[in-house]
Structure formats: structure tokens, C-alpha cells
Amino acid sequence: MNICSKIIVIFCCVGLCACADWLDLKPETDATETDVFSTGEGYRSVLNGLYKSMGSGSLYGIELGFGIVDCMSQQYDLEKMTAMSLNDPYIAAGAYKYTDVSLIPVLEGIWKSAFNVIANANNLIQNIQDESPDLFQLKEREKSVILGEAYACRALMHFDMLRLFAPAPVNDDGKSYVPYVEKYPDIQADAIAVKPFLNKVIADLEYARELVAVYDTTDVGIAASATGEKRFYAEGFFNGRGYRLSYYSISALLARVYQYADRHEDAFRLAEEVMKFELKGKSFYGDVNFNGVMPSTFEAKTDLKIVSNLIFAVYNEKQYTDNKLTTFFKKENDSDNKTWLVVNSEKQELFYNSQGDDESNLDYRSKYMIYLAGGQFPVSGKWYCSDDELIRERNVTILPVIRATEMQYIMAEYYAREQNYVEAYRILNEIRSDRGCVVTIDGGASWDGFVKELILDARREWISEGQLFYLYKRLNADIEFNRAESRPLKREEYLVPVPADQFL
């Protein structure tokens, strides 16, 4: 497998160049590799660049967030897109036509962008490993944090490429699909099978977690992650830890990976640990606060991403302009609206519970977080673009990747697998109660009943966040299609083909 990963050398700005020519960046950035890695600030800048790259439209800015991956989960009613051309990649993704000429370049863009991040993470790792701690402001502690986060970035990007371009373990055929690239440059990385791939992701994350603990578990580090406001609205390299793969973010990501790898006891252990993180008796992630979405008008809502519940997100200060949010989340219908992501709430009865009750006027995720674009089409309020620039930037620059709710789902699923359905439903009902639902659910003492209730809630929680497709894929669970069909995804639907052009 040929993978020529381009290097991005950045001082918080991203530029792409060919493998052989990356040192030619000096005319644009006035920095060669030697220049960049000669100071502690240079290392900080390269690390920041990894995160900034993740916010691109090909990754969490659009496609791995609210875009292609959510279309594949049947989350949107694509038939309601107006002025839609027949070769639109989102229609192709919703129909699982992965070889459609409109979708191929989008999938290639995801692959290339992810492996660019991986290449830069590897280059950072290789340079910093033997670097003197004296180069850094906080000496060994800072060096350890940067190295740990680089390993975690590498693991995250690899994991999401595996989730997209390989079968989930439940359908693993033992074949090789995606390479795990561990050095820079590596233009001949071979694909490996799912199980050894996941072992490498886990090894990277376990090591990364140890490295970043030297800061994040100190009094100062704990305080920097203790609240949503501190995680996402504090500036400085050692602040804003919600935008970084901190000890707490890595713990949550590791829980996600353990679960995907069918290591459910380990997943439960990490998820429970995350939910028990606290400072002076106050939970980091357990006290979800919806006050910021309760104002009567969307123009005034200041917390559409519910940061109290958010563990890790990517930051993109230019999300509104560079990723053209109004293309997807317009307030009114017009002839330029070619990709209107209308939530599939009617056909899937999204806010009806399993007992047939309509909870759309109760559940905060509908009542306060779905707006009717053009007065009639339900669209995710998480990406509402307020006319007030300060409010808009406060909301849309946050690109969710991991929520505390997922940790609760992991714990509930573990209990269900252990036949402890009482505890499993206690957790699901706690989630529902925190979001305004008054009916207590109970799918009975059966795995199928639990999975149904889990999916019913996850479909509401993960609207426009890029996680739902992976849930269906991991559990081989029934998915509701627009054509009144409910069944698990077929192999040709859940398995996105690796791009034919892997010379990246």
C-alpha cells in the first residue's frame, strides 16, 4: 500500500506540500523543519497545527462531523434538499453509492487529510523524543504533554479511518484494510487486519495517557479541565484543555476504542473513571447544563454545543466562513440552498419513545435544539448561525468529538451485556430525565430491547455530530431507512472502500 503522507509545517496555520518538497515551505512560512523544531514554541505550534488540521472540512469541520458520515446514518431527509443536483455526494452517501463520481473525491479528501495529520504527528514524535527538556518552558512536563498529545492525535486519526474504511469487529473477516503508520516518512505502509490495528490504537492511547498525566492530574491541570467554561473558553497553551487530547479526553477516547474492540470491561472501567472525575465534590462531566440553549430565540442561545457535557472537541475559528456553514444550516429556503441537512425526524419518528409518546415538546434536544428552517424544515440547532457575531463564534467554532453521554452509554451497554438491565436502564433514564423526558423507559430483560432503547436515545443525542453511523456499524443493529425498511447495514453499505489512489 503506497501512502505518501504530506507534511504540514505550521505556526497555527496549515499548508500542504509534496513529500519531497516539504522543506521548500520556507519562502511561505520562513521556517524549515530545523527552524520549527529548534524552540519550544515551535513544537507547540506544530502540535496546535495537528488540531487545526482536524477542523478542516474533510475531517471534523464537516465530513466526520455533520456531513458525509451522518448522511450514511440516514439521519437526514435528503429528499428535502432543495435545488439539489442528482450527483450530489450527500445523496450518494445516503444511498451508499461509494463509487459515485461525486463522492469519490470527498472520501479521498477524508483519507488524505487524516493521513496528513498522522504524518505530522509522526514527524513531531520523532523530533521531540530525543529533545532536551530544557528547550521547553515547563521542561520535562511540557515535553511529556506535547509527546503524549501527538501520540493521541495519531491514534484518533487512525481509529476513525478504521471505523470508516474497515468492517467493525462484529463483521471482521480477518482481512487487512487500513495501514497503521508509525514513522515519518513512510511511503510503503502496509494495511493490517482490524484486531492488530486496534491493538496499536490502544497501545498509543495508553502510552499517551501516561505522558499527559504529568500535567493534567496536577492541581493546576485538574482545575483547567474542571468545567465546560474552563475547558472551552480559557486561552493559553495549557488552558482550553477540552480542545486538546488531555488525560481526560484520552481516557474517554480509550473507553470508546476499548468498546469498539469488544473489551467491554475495560471500556466500562475507563468510562466510569471519566464520569467520576471531580474537583471539590463537583463533577467534571456529570452535571449537564442546558441553560445556554433555553432562551426562546435561537439568536440568543449561547451554548448550543452544551459544553458542560463535552469532553473533547476540535476548534476552528473560521468554521463559519471556511466551511460555509450556511450552505448546510440556512435559516430560510432559497435557490442557493443546495445542501440543506434536514433532520429525518418525521420519517424516523425521532422524538417518539418506544411507547409511542411524542416527546418533541419535552426533550430539550428537540424543544431547544431543533429549529424550523424556512418555518417548516427541522434542522439541527447545534450549528445555528446567529446574526450576533460573538454568539455565533462562541457556538459554531466548537466541533464536538466526544461527549460525556457516550461514557454513560458505554456503562449502560456493559451492564446490559452482564444481564444487569436494571442498572442499564437506570443510566438511560438518567440521561433522558436530564433532558426533560418524564416517561421511564424499560425495554425488558433482553439485549435486543436494550439496543433499541440505546439507539432511540443516541439518535437524538448525536444529531449532526458524526457518531451515529458507527453505532449502527459496531452493533450490526437495525437502521431505519427512508423507504420504510429497518435492517442492519449490508457489507457494501457499512464498508467504505479504501481510496484507489493511495499515493497521498
The CA R_g of the chain, rounded to the nearest whole Å, is 22
Q: What is the pLDDT of residue 340?
A: 76
In a domain, 389, yes or no: no
Q: What is the CATH number of the domain that holds 67?
A: 1.25.40.390
Q: What is the pLDDT of residue 376?
A: 84
What does residue 479 show for φ and ψ, rounded to 5 degrees?
-125, 140
420: Cβ–Cβ under 8 A, 6 or more apart, which residues?
none
Residue numbers of the chain with a pLDDT score lower than 50: 1-30, 82-83, 504
SS3 call for 193: strand
In a domain, 224, yes or no: yes
What's the half-sphere exposure (Cβ side, CA atoms, 13 Å) at 24?
7
Q: What is the pLDDT of residue 23?
A: 23
Q: What is the pLDDT of residue 339?
A: 67
Closest of 228, 85, 214 to residue 149, by C-alpha = 214
Alpha-carbon distance of 21 to 399, in angstroms, equals: 32
Are 316 and 66 in contact, with CB atoms under 8 Å apart? no
Going through 307-432 in order, the beta strands assigned E by DSSP cover 310-315, 370-373, 377-380, 398-403
Are 46 and 120 in contact, with CB atoms under 8 Å apart? yes
What does residue 262 show for φ and ψ, rounded to 5 degrees?
65, 25
Q: How far is CA 45 from the centre of its chain?
A: 22
The angle, 0 to 180 degrees and rounded to 10, between the axes of the packed helices 40-54 and 139-165 is 20
Closest of 441, 440, 451, 467 to residue 416, by C-alpha = 451
Q: What is the pLDDT of residue 9?
A: 41
Closest of 109, 92, 91 to residue 100, by C-alpha = 92
Q: What's the domain range around 181?
A: 19-301+303-314+396-484
Q: What is the pLDDT of residue 10?
A: 40
Query: Which pLDDT tens digit goes with each residue over 205-221?
Result: 999 999 999 999 999 99
In a domain, 297, yes or no: yes
Inter-residue long-range contacts of 448-454, CB under 8 Å, 24+ positions, other chains counted: 450/412, 450/413, 450/416, 450/421, 450/424, 450/425, 451/416, 451/475, 451/477, 452/354, 453/354, 453/425, 453/428, 454/409, 454/412, 454/413, 454/416, 454/428
Give the CA distances from residue 101 to residues 70, 77, 108, 191, 249, in Å, rounded to whole numbers and listed in that order: 19, 22, 11, 25, 37
In a domain, 222, yes or no: yes
Structural domains counted in the chain = 1
Alpha-carbon distance of 214 to 413, in angstroms, equals: 32
In a domain, 193, yes or no: yes
Q: How far is CA 43 from the centre of its chain?
A: 25
Q: Please count the residues of the chain.
A: 504
In a domain, 29, yes or no: yes
Q: What is the pLDDT of residue 86?
A: 53
What does residue 68 show for φ and ψ, rounded to 5 degrees?
-50, -45
Alpha-carbon distance of 346 to 372, in angstroms, equals: 13
Are 84 and 339 in contact, with CB atoms under 8 Å apart? yes
How is 136-162 classified by DSSP, letter by letter? STTHHHHHHHHHHHHHHHHHHHHHHHH
In a domain, 1, yes or no: no
In a domain, 334, yes or no: no
